[in-house]
Amino acid sequence: MTVETKLNFINGEWKASSGKTKESINPANTEEVVGILQNSTKEDLNIAIDAAKNSVKEWRKLSGIQRGEYLSKTAEVLEQRKEEIATTITKEMGKTLGEAKGEVGRAIAILKYYSNEGTQKVGEVIPSSDADAMLLTSRTPIGTVGIITPWNFPLAIPVWKIAPALIYGNTVVFKPATETGVTAALLVECFEEARLPAGVINFITGSGSVIGQGIAENSGINGVSFTGSNNVGMKIAEVVSSRNAKYQLEMGGNNPVIVLEDADLDLAAEQIINGAFLMTGQKCTATSRVIIENKVYDKLKEKLLNKVDNIKVGNGLNSDTWMGPLNNEIELNSVITNVKKVIKEGGKLLCGGNPISNGDYEKGFFFEPTIFENISEDMTIAKEEIFGPVVALMKVNSYEEAVDLANNTKYGLSASVFTKDITKMMTFIDEIDVGVVRVNSESAGVEFQAPFGGMKDSSSHSREQGKAAIEFYTSIKTILIKG
């Protein structure tokens, strides 16, 4: 089978980079090349940014409804190509085909949602002190935005940034994670099939340090929306703020689940397993710490261990696979190193802890679902993000101790509590320092029509998705009209 080469998409045309190319490989079988990507240069990037800048004037002139039509057409194309794109996501990212189809469905829903935003209000009328004047606000696009995305949701994250950018009248320079650039190219093909005007979306693959950094530095980019690691995010913030442009960052987490003694333990066990191990633990909202009241600790632990026994790890394309591989070798090595560190620090391994490399697993980045106990709050696993199928059980004597422990991290993305006690639910909602609070449900879970983002070091304190997206992608003009 011939391997397809994906080019950059600049000013409405697919173009090869002046630089080299890079292979995208299948993490379940590293001998399979999913596609070949451009390893672009700064020169390519400058052309892409110019194209985006030159397209703002025409694009922002269209009505919101007209721009929305392009988004709904793109949703239709994505729907037609659903199977093909989901299969590519599984081959390139590693998640199961079920998870990949769910992601394509989500991307379609987001496009439809933002296409409708083209009909929603973009300002308000405020009483003026002058009886003869009208005072009002109007939202105006920020111009050209740079969109830098990670590999864990290679379709949905780009869409939840690109769709609002476009509907509010901005043009885009899109740099996807190198690990999942083929999936990103398929998304751009959908926009092309929907006949989005040339230059409105420009797609460029290449390394983070050249293309990502280049986007952050370039004065032609009016705002950067980034999802990824804290190290990279903070660097982007520094560069972008030094030239007084806008930025928005979604970064890591170390998300706690609290299980109180009155909880439905079967429900809690099911939701914890889903939160910790679906997508091989590679969601930013995945469950990392399970904080359990003493009285139900042993019972819950037993339920969790029984469930882990039934997890089938494998190639995401196989219908019986529940958990796919890690996305890449660096992630696999990082999980291996972190697990060793937890053991060295005194954590007790209850199950898993090893890469899987026998037989069919030989050529992939597989790792066992892993549960630790005897974890104290100063250990690495209780503080840092381990982006993989690793979760820590921690025992506490009261709700108060549980919430203090839950908050004792620099992150503040998501958290959940399992209890039937309405007072404790309400207190938890009030006391937990995270952007996504869940009650009797897993820590992971995002709805496109609601705001999403973290507190503390998990984000730039901005919110994405739903109506909240308008804040980043527009500026407010305050207008006074006298007749």
**One residue of 96, 152, 465, 474 binding ligand NAP per CB under 6 A:** 152
Q: Does 209 bind ligand NAP (CB under 6 A)?
A: yes
Q: Is there a contact between 86 and 100 (Cβ–Cβ < 8 Å)? A: yes
Q: Is there a contact between 276 and 352 (Cβ–Cβ < 8 Å)? A: no
- Of 141 and 388, nearer to ligand NAP (C-beta) is 388
Q: Does 103 bind ligand NAP (CB under 6 A)?
A: no
Q: Does 151 bind ligand NAP (CB under 6 A)?
A: yes
The least distance separating ligand NAP from the CB of residue 84, rounded to whole angstroms, comes to 23
The least distance separating ligand NAP from the CB of residue 335, rounded to whole angstroms, comes to 12
Q: Does 364 bind ligand NAP (CB under 6 A)?
A: no
- Of 227 and 474, nearer to ligand NAP (C-beta) is 227
Catalytic residue among 192, 284, 293, 368: 284
The least distance separating ligand NAP from the CB of residue 31, rounded to whole angstroms, comes to 22
- Of 179 and 368, nearer to ligand NAP (C-beta) is 179
Q: Does 247 bind ligand NAP (CB under 6 A)?
A: no
190 part of the active site = no
Q: Does 183 bind ligand NAP (CB under 6 A)?
A: no
Q: Does 440 bind ligand NAP (CB under 6 A)?
A: no
Binders in 262-301 for ligand NAP, by CB under 6 A: 284
250 part of the active site = yes
**One residue of 68, 143, 150, 220 binding ligand NAP per CB under 6 A:** 150
Mask 368-397, x = binds ligand NAP (CB under 6 A)? -----------------x-x----------
Binding footprint of ligand NAP, residue count (CB under 6 A): 32
Q: Does 148 bind ligand NAP (CB under 6 A)?
A: yes
- Of 55 and 213, nearer to ligand NAP (C-beta) is 213
Q: Does 149 bind ligand NAP (CB under 6 A)?
A: yes
In degrees rounded to 5, what are phi and psi of residue 424? -65, -35
- Of 235 and 341, nearer to ligand NAP (C-beta) is 235
Q: Does 367 bind ligand NAP (CB under 6 A)?
A: no
- Closest C-alpha among 403, 101, 446, 157 to residue 394: 403
Q: What is the 3-state secondary structure (H, E, C) of 187-231?
A: HHHHHHHCCCCCCCEEECCCCHHHHHHHHHHCCCCCEEEEECCHH
Q: Which stretch binds ligand NAP (CB under 6 A): 15-23, 99-107, 248-256, 394-402?
A: 248-256
Q: Does 242 bind ligand NAP (CB under 6 A)?
A: no
List active site positions. Answer: 250, 284
Binding site for ligand NAP (CB under 6 A): 148-152, 175-179, 207-209, 212-213, 216, 227-229, 232, 235-236, 250-253, 284, 385, 387, 413, 454, 458
